[in-house]
Amino acid sequence: MSNSPSFNRRAFIGSVAAVGAAGLAVPALAQFAEPIPAAAPVSAGPQHNISSFRMQDWRPYFQNLSNGAVLCDLKSRALHFWSEDEQTYRLYPSSIPVSDDLTRTGRTEIIRKVEGPSWAPTPAMKERNPDWPDFVPPGPDNPLGTHALWLTWEYYRIHGTHDTRKIGRPSSNGCIGLYNEHIAELYNLTKIGTQVLII
């Protein structure tokens, strides 16, 4: 063992990453992204989401799998999908709403599917963030990522994100966010009428 002063591994890794990224441009999306709190160390606090990252039974949550089923578990920050024929199960890490007042729970369903969605802030979002753009077309700067699933609740979506820092954190204005590769897969697995439960 070395007798040198204590070594702060996290600070070292952060400084190396900062030096490596010095020449990179910040994505345009960062202009109107909500601040993201620093992630807690892996050893800090209970690991409350571990149980959700394994195969779960759909029966406690749904009466049947008609049209397939999506379960969004806010506590574990995970989205589960079961196909109608029970042959396909998927589990994806997700982002969740940043605060309780932006969170909606309960039963809904997918009513629209869009590949290459455009985005516009809700009136409440624009009031909180007047500098945000009024409209963002489909593309790499779009906050909805590559695909979006509209729910019956106004303004609520399950969608992708190009800002991968958001996944696994409370960082959305009410929606459930997935990595773009995951939302693309879920988009192909779901249909209009797929049941959704957010708990």
* Rounded-to-integer distance, Cα 143 and Cα 10, Å: 29
Tell me if residue 175 is catalytic. Answer: yes
Q: Which two tokens stand for residue 22?
A: 């010095």
Task: Output the DSSP codes for 58-88.
Answer: STTT-S--TT-EEEEETTTTEEEEE-TTS--
Residue 159 catalytic?
yes
Residue in 147, 162, 175, 182 annotated catalytic = 175
Residue by residue, DSSP assigns 100-134 as GGG---EEEEEEEEEES--B---HHHHHH-TTS-S
Return the bridge partners of 178, or none. Answer: 160
Residue 66 is classified by DSSP as: T
Phi, psi of 150, rounded to the nearest 5 degrees: -80, 140
Q: What are phi and psi of 3, to 5 degrees?
A: -95, 15
Catalytic residue among 147, 159, 162, 182: 159
Q: Which residues are catalytic?
A: 159, 175
